[in-house]
Amino acid sequence: MNIPELAEHERKRAVALDDAVGRALAASDILTATPDLATKGQWLLSAKGKVGAATLRVPGREPITLRIRPKIPIARLLFLLNYRQNPKGWRTEDVLVDEDEELLPVMARLFAWQAEKALQQGLHKDYCPVQETALVVRGRIRNADQVRRHHGRLVPLEVTHDEHTIDVAENWVLQKATDVLLGLTTGVPHDVHQRLLRLRFALRDVTPAGHGHSLPGWLPNRNNARFHKALRLAELVLQGASVENRGGGVAVNGFLFDMPKVFEDFVTIALCEKFAAIAGHCGLQTAIYLDERNAIKMKPDFVRYADDGTPVAVADAKYKAEKPSGFPDADLYQILAYCTALNLPEGHLIYAKGNEPHGSHRVKHAGITIHQHTLELDQTPEDLLKDIQKLANRLVPAI
């Protein structure tokens, strides 16, 4: 069953659904779904911040396919995702795509392309420590294990040595991302699916990482340089992919990104990059306390500290203003609390640009000014980063 494509932030759409499917959608946390009280058998659907594609399986019903289109072009979204992951390594040509494409097909195609290029010269190999029980000395003896397990016997031997192997983090990450994309039955074009099958065959000799265990991290270096782009795309695939089992036997298999989180991460990481060349440091989601007994904990998205540890600026990133007539009042109360706790005369709210104008409010009897800024996401990466620089200059005018 295909639900009509939804667009981020569009008005609620009436769709004919039976109650079981409607309740499953409402419980999925992917969109909002409420019964249409005016028309029996219809539900009102709207996106709630997540974009991408997902399949819901409800017992006794055919699979339900959802697609949610972001309000910004896919190329812009890919830039945000790439930059927050690797701010120093992004390049404009890495995110050029057809503006009409959907998120999942784009990600699958880009990953397949980069993985194919990376594997043209074969799988990545590296030396990894191996511990084993052997009859001859290879590497060095693990004395503590030898005594504990064999009580003074000369053989067998507990040894450790380095082995040149393909069972390394780089190959595991590529293998896992390939498996995830192959498991998404909705949205991956046939030609890309065939390329993914060829990739999986190329990775066939890699021992799969343990089921249910988190993949080991990889570190960029000269030896794995040709894998960097493919690995970063693989990480994005794994971040967006989700398989969840919910109550009542409902299963959700999706490729989704939470846009408020994407926006928050991009803004705070980009601000950190702009401050990187001057003394001091940035705190992201660092705990502060409103009261003297440290009982009321708060976590601002971004705090800039001077070299001596004194807070000099605070900001919160807000993807969408929920109040139709302007910025939400709750955001103002929140940033006011941050300013009070940090003893700052100014606070900054940063929104993804909609119809709201820039705002500035001086709080009565407090001497605190709250600024509300907007960022236009649908512009070139270079222009967007220039706007981030202007924001940084507003937060700390000395830079």
Q: Which two tokens stand for residue 31?
A: 């969109």
Q: State the Cα–Cα distance between residues 117 and 199, nearest whole angstrom.
A: 11
Q: Is residue 210 scored above 70 in pLDDT? A: no
Intra-chain end-to-end CA distance of the chain, in Å: 55
Q: State the Cα–Cα distance between residues 363 and 377, nearest whole angstrom.
A: 30
**Of residues 354 and 25, more confidently modeled:** 25
Please give the distance of CA 74 from its chain centroid, rounded to a whole number: 15
Task: Give helix then strand counts, H and E, for the chain.
Answer: 10, 19
Give residue-wise pLDDT tens across range 312-359.
999 999 987 555 455 678 899 999 999 999 999 999 999 997 655 577
| 117 to 123, 226, 228, 229: CA distances (angstroms) | 11, 8, 11, 10
pLDDT tier at 84, thresholds 50, 70, 90: confident
Q: State the Cα–Cα distance between residues 350 and 264, nearest whole angstrom.
A: 9
Please give the distance of CA 108 from its chain centroid, rounded to a whole number: 16
pLDDT tier at 54, thresholds 50, 70, 90: confident
Q: Are 151 and 113 in contact (CB under 8 A)?
A: no
- The strand order across the sheet containing 302-305 reads 281-283, 302-305, 311-318, 346-352, 369-375, 359-362
On the question of a cis peptide bond just before residue 156, with omega within 30 degrees of 0, the verdict is yes
What is the per-residue pLDDT for 346? 96
Q: State the Cα–Cα distance between residues 38 and 188, nearest whole angstrom.
A: 37
Q: What percent of the chain has pLDDT over 70?
A: 90
Q: What percent of the chain has pLDDT over 90?
A: 49
Beta bridge partners of 196: none
Q: Is residue 158 scored above 70 in pLDDT? A: yes
Q: State the Cα–Cα distance between residues 130 and 203, nearest whole angstrom.
A: 21
What is the per-residue pLDDT for 245? 52
Q: How many CB atoms lie within 10 A of CB 63?
A: 14
Beta bridge partners of 298: 288
The predicted model gives 155-178 an average pLDDT of 86
Residue that is written with structure tokens 């996401």 in the block = 377
DSSP secondary structure, 313-339, as one string? EEEEEES---STTSS-HHHHHHHHHHH
Q: State the Cα–Cα distance between residues 167 and 79, nearest whole angstrom.
A: 31
pLDDT tier at 392, thresholds 50, 70, 90: very high
The 3-state DSSP class for residue 8 equals: coil
Q: State the Cα–Cα distance between residues 240 and 180, nearest whole angstrom.
A: 10
Q: Is residue 212 scored above 60 in pLDDT? A: no
**Of residues 96 and 181, more confidently modeled:** 181
What is the per-residue pLDDT for 98? 59
H helices present in the chain, as ranges? 19-27, 74-85, 103-118, 143-150, 169-183, 190-202, 228-240, 259-275, 329-342, 381-395
pLDDT tier at 35, thresholds 50, 70, 90: very high
| 391 to 170, 215, 320, 344, 398: CA distances (angstroms) | 37, 37, 18, 17, 12
Q: Is residue 244 scored above 70 in pLDDT? A: no
DSSP H/E element including 32: strand 31-35
Q: Which two tokens stand for residue 382?
A: 């270079």
Q: Which domains does the chain possess? A: 126-165 (no CATH), 277-395 (3.40.1350)
Average pLDDT of every residue of the chain: 86
What is the per-residue pLDDT for 243? 60
Lowest mean pLDDT among 199-208, 270-279, 326-335: 326-335
What is the per-residue pLDDT for 188? 86
Q: Are 49 and 319 in contact (CB under 8 A)?
A: yes
What is the per-residue pLDDT for 154? 76
